[in-house]
Amino acid sequence: MTNPAHDQIKSTVSENDVVLFMKGTAAMPQCGFSSKVAGVLNYMGVSYADVNVLDDEGVRQGIKDYSNWPTIPQLYVKGEFVGGCDIITEMTLSGELDELFTKEGVTFNKDAANKIREANG
């Protein structure tokens, strides 16, 4: 039996270098955690696909099953699940997110990433 939400999720993470499954949209996040991760990506100038899980209950539950991760937002880079808000925050502050983006060929603003770290150092 095929799962349309699973197929849609797999297709989305395969076709986009960076995907954020979130509550709301990049322009209008609808929860604090989604807003924080979208804010980091926006500030760093990362081009990403945003998927509003509030638009589709199948995707909202499906993404949790797909990643085996219970919370939203969820960030994917090159088809791989990276983490949720706490993990992305830690990776941003430690420089690991920069390393991941560099390794995977994702364009981002290194100066902006450094400014985030300086502001939170």
What pLDDT is recorded for position 15?
97
Q: Two tokens at 95?
A: 């420089």
What pLDDT is recorded for position 65?
94
What pLDDT is recorded for position 4?
87
DSSP lists the bridge partners of residue 90 as none
At 1, the pLDDT band (50, 70, 90 cuts) reads low
Whether residue 29 is preceded by a cis peptide bond, meaning omega within 30 degrees of 0, is no
CB 98 within 8 A of CB 45: no
Report how many domains make up the chain.
1
87-115 confidence digits (pLDDT tens): 999 999 999 999 999 999 999 999 999 99
> Which CATH number is 43's domain given?
3.40.30.10
Range of the domain at 114: 4-120
Q: Hey, is 87 helix, strand or coil?
A: helix
Q: Two tokens at 76?
A: 């994917």
Q: What is the pTM of this model?
A: 0.95
Give, to the nearest 10 degrees, the angle between helix 110-120 and helix 85-94. 100
Beta strands in 10-91 (DSSP E): 18-22, 49-52, 74-77, 80-83
What pLDDT is recorded for position 3?
82
pLDDT at 29 over 90: yes
Summary mean pLDDT of the chain: 96
